[in-house]
Every structure is written in C-alpha cells, then in structure tokens.
Amino acid sequence: MTERKTDKKNIGRREFLRSAASGACAVGLAAFAGKCALAASSQTSLEGARKGLVKPRKGDWYEPLEKRKLRCGLCPRECVLSPGERSPCRVRENRDGSLYTLAYANPALIQEDPIERKPFFHVLPGSRALSVSTAGCNLECKFCEVWDMALAAPEEVYSYEVPPEKVVGYALKSKLRSVSYAFGEPVVFYEYMKETASLAAGEGLLNLIHTAGYINPGPLEELSGFLDAANVDLKGFDGDFYRDVAGGELDPVLDTLRTLKRKGVHLEITNILIPSLNDSRDDIRKMCDWIASELGPDVPLHFARFYPLYRLSRLPRTPVSALDEARETARKSGLKYVYVSRVTGHEGENTFCPSCGEKIINRIGFVVDSVKISDGKCARCGEGIPGIWG
C-alpha cells in the first residue's frame, strides 16, 4: 500500500481545523470515566486527583558524601544536598543521607494525545500516544508553557497514583502504540520513566520522550536502551541565552543530542523562536550548521512559534515571516526536513520528499490527511525517509 488516508477521501479545511481542535483536548486518565482531562494541576475535580506525595522511594544516580550529605548525579547541576534538603528541581530530596525521588508513580498529567503534538512528525503519523508527566523540572525557563506543573513541587499540584504497570495497562487498553514522557521534564522523574519504559517495551509499545535534554551522560546512556524516539528542545544556540532565559548551560544539551544520535534513538529537535532573544539569523545559521555536521542532515527540525506567557508575557508572538526565514536558513544549511509548528495550515507542517519534492505527509495542525510512504520510502521515487513508520 503506497498511500493511507483518513475515512473521508477529501477533508475540507473546516473539518480539518475542527478535528485539530478536538485533538488538542486530550483524553486523559479520567476519560475512562467519560471525562476529558488536562493537567491535574489545574483540574481539581478530576476523579482520583489529590495533592500530596504518593510513595517516595530511593532514587538512582547519587554519591554519598561526608556528614550524610550527597551529590545527585542525574543532571549537570550535580546538586549537593544536606539531610532534609531538596534539589532545585523540587522532586529529589536527601533523607538521612539517601537520595529519594518524590515523583515516582505520582503523575500530575496522564492523557492521550496525537503523536504530532509532541511533536513527532516522523513517528507513526496519525497515531496517538499516552503522555505522562509529573511536577518538577531541572531548568527554569522564563517562557515555560506548563509552569504551573513543571515549576512546582509535587505536593503543590493535584496528582494521581499511577505505578508503571498501570500506565502500560492504560495504553494497552486504549490500543495505543506508544507511551510518551512529555509536557513537563521527564528527566526529573527518571526512575518512574525508566521502569515504565522497560515494561512498555516488553509489551511492544514504543517509548517516546520530549525533553530539554539536561541530563548527565551516565543516566542518559542507561535510559537510551529503552527509548525509541526523542524530541529535544534546543532552546537556542548561545550560552548566555541558556543561562539567562533557561537557567542552564548549552553544552550538556549538545552532548545529549550527540549521545541519542550515537545510540540509534530516532531524533527530532524543536526550537521555539523567541523574538529578540534567540532569533538572530547568525545564531540560527550556526545552530543549523551544527545539526547538519554533528547529527546529520536527516534530523527533523521544528521551528515553533512563541506565544507570550509566564515571565515573557510582554514579548510579541513570533512573526510567521521570522519562522519562514529560519526555515529557509535551515534548508541552506543542508537540513532536509524542516518544519514550522504552531501555525495551523502553514506549508511547513507537511513533509516533503527531499529527492523528488512530493508531499508525502499532509498535515493541518495535529490532523494527518495522507501518508505517501511505503516501507520507509517515498511512494513516488523510492527515497528513504528516516523515521519509525511501521
């Protein structure tokens, strides 16, 4: 079969947009009771949601120090914690000389989404994933889109008690094909994600992660063995921007991208283009040149539109013309798959064969109309298209 279409042979723009809008309303854990659920942090009436910790358990990747202090080795911060002290990510704590995670089996969000929302454009197009996230993050982005969850402690938000086996069970019951660790920062619920991913892989589900990539090499090497695909937020290509706007460093994120590529994890990159902060043509060109040379021209790159929120609410949203210029810059750097995200109806939502120019995936928002890929190749010319299409 060379082409897959939705039930209606020709779907009009209005129907597309209506479907895309309904796709944005994610069906979550409470949907098993016939409800439409978003992040539990903002939905106080969800069945089973409550504030507080579930079952704090010992964490991985830490080093005991003198006087019952410890050094967390999960991310580049490598926080040194005294007894009773909690890390800046809000979910890792020193309890009498041992590191405990407060995020295990304690998701503030669990919901079903279009895989394009992650965004993954080269993984099972048109399918849906079960997304899972907890409170906490090891960065402090001034433009955080889920700040009420990611920049909060677990006991400050409404959460569920959902151990790894139940996450996988829900995905299987809903006949989904993947589990996605996304929306918040999955690095901070590392142990929960790793155990869930192990069970999911055993049941034939794909494991997807959308992350800022702020993680140390050792934990990443271990986690990579369970991952099928990763979308990494490369927030900019300037060290000062990372420190001032994201609260981290650039180099560890670049190392994460190299490692994922080397480990054979399907890789996509998202760059939110923020007016006046990370949208200089020179930085965009440097970033695209680096991606092409270090990761390869086949890595899909998503330029996402910035919308004013959180601590950058006074900035304007990204002009479409700036996204178009960034896309053209990326193409000149040799990147073959460059997308424009969060501009519904933009040509840059679609996938084109880099060889013959055929539109091989037609999208509007989160809705996929047609896929002209057969056995991982362009159905028209036979060019291999990187991704997970099975």
Give the angle subtended at the CA of 21 by the CAs of 17 and 26, to the nearest 5°: 150
Averaged pLDDT for residues 264-278? 98
- pLDDT, tens only, 119-161: 999 999 999 999 999 999 999 999 999 999 999 999 999 999 9
- pLDDT, tens only, 164-210: 999 999 999 999 999 999 999 999 999 999 999 999 999 999 999 99
Cβ(104)–Cβ(58) below 8 Å: no
Q: Which helix (H) or strand (E) holds 326?
A: helix 320-332
User: Which value, in Å, is the radius of gyration of the alpha carbons in the chain?
Assistant: 20
pLDDT on residue 52: 77
Number of Cβ atoms within 10 Å of the Cβ of 94:
25
Phi and psi for 294 in degrees, rounded to 5?
A: -90, -35
268: DSSP letter: E
Task: Assign 48 a pLDDT band (cuts: 50, 70, 90).
Answer: confident
Averaged pLDDT for residues 278-298? 98
Averaged pLDDT for residues 284-304? 98
How would you label 169-180 residue by residue, b for 16+ Cβ within 10 Å and e otherwise?
ebbeeeebbbbb
Averaged pLDDT for residues 314-328? 98
Question: What residues form DSSP beta bridges with 351?
Answer: 361
pLDDT on residue 51: 87
CATH class, range 4-49+107-378: alpha beta
DSSP-based three-state secondary structure for 231: strand
Cβ(236)–Cβ(278) below 8 Å: yes
pLDDT on residue 29: 37
Cβ(342)–Cβ(331) below 8 Å: no
Provide, rounded to the nearest whole percent, the portion of the chain with pLDDT above 70.
88
Token duo for residue 136: 């906490």
What is the amino acid identity at position 223?
L
Report domain extents, the chain.
Answer: 4-49+107-378, 57-101
Non-local (6+) Cβ contacts of 152 within 8 A are 41, 90, 135, 136
Provide, rounded to the nearest whole percent, the portion of the chain with pLDDT above 90.
86
Nearest to 113 by CA among 49, 177, 190: 177
Token duo for residue 175: 């006949």
Q: How many CA atoms lie within 13 A of 109 on its CB side?
A: 28
Q: What DSSP string describes 89-148?
A: TSSEEEETTEEEES-TT--SEEEEEEGGGTT-SSBSTT-EEEEEE-S--SS--TT-TTHH
pLDDT on residue 17: 35
CA-CA distance, 207 to 204, in Å (whole number)?
9
How would you label 343-361 residue by residue, b for 16+ Cβ within 10 Å and e otherwise?
bbebebbbbbbbeeeeebb
Q: How many CA atoms lie within 13 A of 71 on its CB side?
A: 8
Nearest to 341 by CA among 323, 359, 360, 321: 323
Q: pTM for the complete prediction?
A: 0.89
- pLDDT, tens only, 202-239: 999 999 999 999 999 999 999 999 999 999 999 999 99
Cβ(214)–Cβ(248) below 8 Å: yes
Q: Compute the mean pLDDT over every residue in the chain, rounded to the nearest whole number.
A: 90
- pLDDT, tens only, 56-78: 999 999 999 999 999 999 999 99
pLDDT on residue 47: 60
DSSP-based three-state secondary structure for 368: strand
pLDDT at 315 over 60: yes
